[in-house]
Amino acid sequence: MNLKKFLLPAMTLCGLQCYADALNYDFESSADDWAGRGDATVELSTEQHHSGDQSLFVSNRAESWHGALVSNASIEAGKTYIISAWVFVYSNGNMDLSLQYSADGAVAYPRVASKEAYAYSWTELKGEIVIPEEVEDITPYIQCTNSATLEYFIDDVTIEEKVEELVDFSKQLPLKDLYRDYFKIGTAATASEITPKNAKNMILHHFNSLTPGNELKPDALLNQEASQSDGDNVNPQVRLSPNTKAVLKFCENNNIPMRGHVFVWHSQTPDWFFNEGFESDGATVSKEIMSQRMENYIKNVIELVTTSYPKLNIYAWDIVNEVFTDGGQMRTPGSNYQREGQSRWVEVYGDDSFIEEAFVYAKKYLPTNIKTYYNDYNEYIGSKTDAIYNLVKKLYDKGLCDGVGMQSHLSTLFPTAQQYEVALAKFATIGCDIQVTELDITVEDGYTFNDQTKLYGELFQLYKKYKDNISLVALWGTNDEISWRAKGKPLIFTNYQPKGAYDKIIEGMEMPTNAENIADNGIIVIPTLTDGDATIYCDGSFTYRLSSIVGKVVMEGKGNDNLNVKLNIPNGIYMMEIASETGAKNIVKIIKR
């Protein structure tokens, strides 16, 4: 049979994953779910085949994105897939295996795998992809990115779902509760990183702040086509991609405080944003035009996010990011896409005046409860420390900047905790808030995890020492395996399990026995860590629903003002959702011991 759907052994584990249902296309009898993308034609062929007697031939392409796509209802949102396809070409070509999906009209095209295919040979395209929840029209496709006309053959396509083995996080002391009296404990995650249930449960268990990894950066929000048609050369248009929506909705639904990241940055900001007519090859605009664009961009993003997610608890936003070199100088003018580290902002303005402008616009349009930050890395290198200090102090004294973000991408090689404290102490003298925004520590050659553990421990001792100045310590990612610095194993968890660094930073910390979970709307549950009952406090009538970590409702009921709930349930982690008659809502994690 051409299309095969088969069940792989449920206990064939790969880390914390096992394979489930899979689709297999061998094209031995028909093209089934496959069709042409764009003007391309697809048809069965016996001319080439990877296995069996036939393959799928793709021809009549007129654009690089033209190719072959597959539509099958078995491919579902909110799941992880391993996709493999074999391609054959008669001349070399850069072959690309990607997905297309949409959410509320916004379309995303995440890549699964890309590889150069060599003439007269079969090449496998294989990769793993996590599909965000609540997206639609999920369509894998294959294209040739460096040729509009190259013909190719496709064979032996497999689409395999990976199913998680759920982790019991109740055995891990929650970091956010341990550090409740010191500062928030945060993390960063992209849409794909929060889709797995283990990731959601981990974030809800350990963290009370989340920074979108990429979803609020300019290249994720700016829409070139709409800017050209509706932007009047000064009003860049923005939209929320399916990935951005997934992260924002996760934070809103679970009442997780969120940091916005970032408005003004030399990186991940498309060059067309700085060009006349928003054209890819247009001339660079004047600083007068760019100032209008900057103001409108900041205003449009804030309005779009806050109106689309009115209950989203945004408490901080990085306004400007990484304007200094390690020597403490402004970046050189030019495109970061042409030479890494150059800045189109400096190219347009010729000086640093765009920085203060950005903070002026942010203060103008952000709700007053959202604090503004300047964020940078290598902040502990002396000359850069001084540059950051001078900038932030100037902006803070003018009431424009509320704090400094110390990214803290460190290594076991450099810096030492003592060197790091020099910068921390200097920033503390400004009087502004300090947030550790992107903490990770790579293990360098010649060093061990013991060295990493030691440095993490020393840093957290510093953070506790400066707790009156620090409101957040955030790790940049959840697990070593999906870190942007994965090679150096930089985080305190691996495969959702604690490392020595986790044990070190909780050493000597006491878990509150009567931990409170208090929302801004006044709904309280006490205690959230219990071996018996819990009490819900809410002004007026309310309903509650208690669910297991896999979403099964185990208890539900109603109350008025306060209610003692007897938790006659097995030990484990649960989520309690309380909704008042006024529409207020709080979602609380309950740990039954």
528: closest CA among 174, 232, 233?
174
* CA distances from residue 436 to 111, 155, 184, 188, 579 in whole angstroms, order as listed: 31, 49, 10, 12, 34
Phi, psi (rounded to 5 degrees) for 348: -70, -45
Inter-residue contact 493 to 478 (CB < 8 Å):
yes
288's CB contacts (< 8 A; 6+ apart) are none
- Report helix, strand or coil for 580: strand
CA 536, chain centre distance (Å): 33
| Catalytically annotated residue among 295, 322, 379, 421 | 322
| Catalytically annotated residue among 151, 161, 193, 438 | 438
Q: Is 322 a catalytic residue?
A: yes
Of how many residues is the chain composed? 593
582's CB contacts (< 8 A; 6+ apart) are 539, 540
246: closest CA among 194, 186, 289, 301?
194
Burial class (CB in 10 A: 0-12, 13-18, 19+), 94: middle
Q: Two tokens at 460?
A: 């957290």
Q: Which run of H or E residues covers position 373?
A: strand 371-376
Which residue shows structure tokens 């053959």? 153
Beta-strand pair 184-189/470-475: parallel
- Report helix, strand or coil for 227: helix
Q: Is 438 a catalytic residue?
A: yes
142: closest CA among 48, 202, 61?
61
* CA distances from residue 286 to 93, 228, 275, 344 in whole angstroms, order as listed: 40, 17, 9, 12
134's CB contacts (< 8 A; 6+ apart) are 77, 78, 103, 245, 246, 249
474: closest CA among 318, 337, 354?
318
Q: Letter for the amino acid at 6?
A: F
Q: Letter for the amino acid at 518?
A: I
* CA distances from residue 273 to 178, 225, 243, 455, 591 in whole angstroms, order as listed: 44, 11, 21, 41, 48
CA distance 188 to 190: 7
Inter-residue contact 132 to 102 (CB < 8 Å):
no
Catalytic residue numbers, as ranges: 322, 438
